[in-house]
């Protein structure tokens, strides 16, 4: 938690001014009972109306000044807390963006989203409450006791007895409930996780008609959460009755002693009222302090989770300065693998093992294999989404680890398996590929990706709005626009990672033909489970269980690679026609 306070350094002034104004407000609050006592003891007792009016004016003045102090304290505390949360959220987002796929896989998307939203909000509330009440409440409690001694020393000893008992009750309940609140928070995380899974997978749930089962599972988790919240709520609910019992006993003691002293002339009636006011102030502030401590405890727990993410260091480091990209002529190696292994974090076995591969500039390479054979893992090493755990991956004769992040982004354009579009216009999505792309470049990329008619069919053309995740587009439209976005960048290496799975065979063939006619011609890697997509590739790589089991052209592999032959026969009949009427 202490490490996170660095994000408050730009708000030092606000962090000092807010508590100071709260202390001033508390000071004026402590003066009110004395003024009331003076009104009773002097004004009402002597029938001095002018004095009563003067003192009422003082009360109004104290109220106005206190209100101004409270508003100022709230303003500066809110400014510091919101600014702290904004800087922390920005730093957290920037740090997450710097993590490699390995750390993102380990941390989990839902956990990182909770850290960015719920935990940062808890920290914001904690900072706000700490600046406002962490000093004010103890100041009022002990200030009221001191002021009571200025009113009447003997009667004030009631405060010496009551305050420690109240502290024991309040902090005892806090210590008992804090671990229970943490348990409730963990249970709430489980409910939220199940809710997120059900909402994101609602179509799958309905497709398998599992609504009743998922509803029952959610109700079971929610019932456990409800019972735990009720249990801890019952313990917390003891605070008010117990504190009020102690306070009322203190009030009875004050009235008893005060009544006796007033009757014998040892105390004024206004002094008794002042002591009762101080007792009430102590009760209110102790409850506030208890709630503040509970909130701060939750904020500290959130702070530990956020700090845990910030302490995660990326396993992948990039050079600060770009290097010279070697010139590669036609026919020379553009991509190379030398005895490459890959083991994912937490995995026992290797996902890729002893890969040796050389891809020439301008070649079209098809990568095929069964599910889980390592096709996507292979191309992710080229873009350096993961680092090889053994061997070397080269681009243009240099190890990929020697290139800066920007250079790799310029060299390698990749279209992922899942087409992701962002909320905004089609133009804004395409400009992700190249910020300063011209109108001509955008339309050329759309034409190559077979997406030109999609945009032309929209009323606003390139300015047509795309909803979050591309919900207002079909799967094939999303894939073609995602391909166009990558083509805008005109990368020397183009990777299509099963990115045409939602396209029909004719559109897929047109896409591949258009990509082959690009000038300058990129080195193209097509990852696919459809043999038809890679039949005419210059080189076909066959993957099986993380190993390359065949390399060559379509005709060569039919004769030499049983795995490829099996895949081909499962998709084509003996006449070379695609099965299923495609």
Place of tokens 């077979």: 450
Q: Where are the alpha helices (DSSP H) in 311-370?
A: none
Report whether pLDDT(581) > 60.
no
Angle between helices 49-98 and 269-310 (to 10 degrees): 10
**5-14, 52-61, 238-247, 305-314: least confidently modelled range:** 238-247
Which three-class secondary structure state does DSSP give residue 357?
strand
Q: pLDDT value at position 471?
A: 86
Q: What percent of the chain is predicted at pLDDT more than 70? A: 98
Token pair of 539, please?
């080189």
Q: Rounded to an integer, what distance in angstroms lies between the CA atom of residue 65 and that of residue 55? A: 15
Q: pLDDT value at position 365?
A: 94
Report whether pLDDT(361) > 70.
yes
Q: pLDDT value at position 188?
A: 80
- Give CB contacts under 8 A, 24+ apart, made by 509-515: 510/450, 511/448, 511/449, 511/450, 511/480, 511/483, 512/536, 514/447, 514/448, 514/449, 514/450, 515/364, 515/448, 515/487
Report whether pLDDT(43) > 90.
no
How many residues would you count in the chain?
Answer: 582
More confident residue, 281 or 346: 281
Report whether pLDDT(173) > 50.
yes
Whether residue 464 contacts residue 430, with contact meaning beta carbons closer than 8 Å, is answered with no
Q: What is the pLDDT of residues 456-495, one digit of tens each?
A: 988 889 999 999 888 888 888 999 999 999 999 999 999 9
Q: What is the pLDDT of residues 94-121, one digit of tens each?
A: 999 888 888 888 887 777 888 888 889 9
Sequence-separated (6 or more) residues with CB below 8 Å from residue 328 = 334, 361, 396, 397
Token pair of 492, please?
């020397």
Q: pLDDT value at position 505?
A: 83
Token pair of 82, please?
């919101």
Q: Rounded to an integer, what distance in angstroms lies between the CA atom of residue 295 and that of residue 126? A: 6
Q: Rounded to an integer, what distance in angstroms lies between the CA atom of residue 319 and that of residue 327? A: 20
Q: Rounded to an integer, what distance in angstroms lies between the CA atom of residue 256 and that of residue 471? A: 73
Token pair of 170, please?
């309040």
Which three-class secondary structure state does DSSP give residue 356?
strand
Q: What is the pLDDT of residues 487-521, one digit of tens each?
A: 999 999 999 998 887 788 888 889 889 998 988 89
Place of tokens 């402590």: 30
Nearest to 101 by CA among 377, 335, 336: 377
Q: Rounded to an integer, what distance in angstroms lies between the CA atom of residue 52 and that of residue 38? A: 9
Q: Where are the alpha helices (DSSP H) in 363-474?
A: 375-382, 405-411, 426-430, 439-448, 452-456
Rounded to two decimals, the pTM is: 0.76
């Amino acid at each position: 938690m202490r490490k996170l306070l660095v994000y408050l350094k730009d708000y030092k002034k606000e962090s000092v001014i807010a508590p100071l104004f709260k202390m001033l407000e508390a000071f004026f609050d402590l003066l009110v009972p004395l003024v009331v006592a003076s009104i009773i003891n002097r004004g009402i007792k002597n029938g001095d109306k002018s004095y009563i009016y003067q003192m009422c004016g003082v009360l109004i003045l104290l109220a106005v000044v206190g209100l101004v102090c409270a508003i100022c304290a709230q303003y500066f505390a809110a400014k510091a807390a919101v600014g702290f949360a904004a800087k922390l959220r920005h730093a957290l987002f920037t740090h997450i963006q710097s993590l490699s796929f390995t750390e993102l896989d380990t941390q989990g998307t839902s956990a990182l989203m909770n850290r960015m939203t719920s935990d940062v909000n808890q920290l914001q509330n904690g900072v706000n409450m700490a600046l406002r009440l962490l000093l004010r409440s103890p100041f009022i409690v002990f200030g009221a006791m001191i002021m009571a001694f200025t009113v009447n020393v003997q009667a004030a000893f009631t405060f010496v007895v009551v305050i420690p008992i109240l502290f024991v009750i309040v902090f005892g309940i806090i210590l008992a409930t804090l671990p229970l609140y943490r348990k409730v928070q963990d249970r709430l995380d489980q409910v939220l996780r199940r809710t997120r899974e059900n909402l994101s997978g609602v179509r799958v749930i309905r497709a398998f008609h599992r609504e009743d089962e998922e509803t029952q599972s959610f109700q079971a988790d929610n019932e456990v959460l409800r019972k735990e919240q009720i249990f801890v709520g019952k313990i917390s609910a003891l605070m008010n009755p117990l504190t009020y019992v102690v306070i009322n006993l203190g009030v009875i003691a004050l009235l008893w002693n005060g009544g006796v002293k007033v009757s014998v002339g040892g105390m004024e009636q206004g002094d008794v009222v002042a002591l009762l006011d101080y007792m009430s102030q102590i009760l209110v502030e102790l409850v506030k302090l208890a709630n503040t401590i509970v909130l701060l405890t939750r904020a500290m727990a959130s702070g530990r989770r956020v700090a845990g993410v910030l302490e995660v260091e990326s396993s992948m480091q990039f050079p600060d300065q770009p290097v010279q990209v070697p010139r590669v002529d036609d026919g020379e190696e553009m991509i190379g693998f030398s005895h490459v292994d890959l083991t994912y974090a937490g995995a026992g076995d290797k996902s890729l093992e002893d890969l040796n591969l050389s891809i020439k500039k301008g070649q079209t390479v098809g990568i095929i294999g069964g599910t889980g054979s390592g096709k996507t893992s292979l191309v992710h090493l080229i873009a350096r989404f993961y680092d090889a755990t053994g061997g070397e991956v080269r681009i243009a004769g240099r190890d990929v680890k020697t290139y800066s992040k920007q250079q790799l982004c310029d060299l390698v354009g990749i279209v992922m398996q899942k087409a992701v579009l962002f909320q905004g216009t089609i133009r804004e999505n395409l400009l992700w590929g190249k910020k300063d792309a011209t109108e001509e470049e955008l339309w050329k990329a759309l034409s190559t990706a077979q997406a030109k008619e999609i945009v032309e069919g929209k009323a606003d053309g390139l300015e047509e709005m795309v909803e979050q995740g591309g919900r207002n587009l079909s799967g094939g439209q999303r894939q073609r626009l995602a391909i166009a976005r990558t083509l805008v960048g005109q990368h020397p290496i183009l990777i299509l990672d099963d990115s045409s799975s939602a396209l029909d065979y004719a559109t897929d063939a047109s896409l591949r033909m258009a990509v082959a006619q690009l000038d300058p011609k990129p080195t193209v890697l097509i990852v696919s489970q459809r043999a038809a997509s890679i039949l005419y590739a210059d080189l076909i790589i066959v993957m099986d269980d993380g190993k390359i089991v065949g390399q060559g052209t379509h005709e060569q592999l039919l004769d030499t690679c049983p795995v490829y032959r099996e895949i081909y026969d499962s998709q084509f009949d003996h006449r070379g026609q695609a099965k299923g009427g495609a």
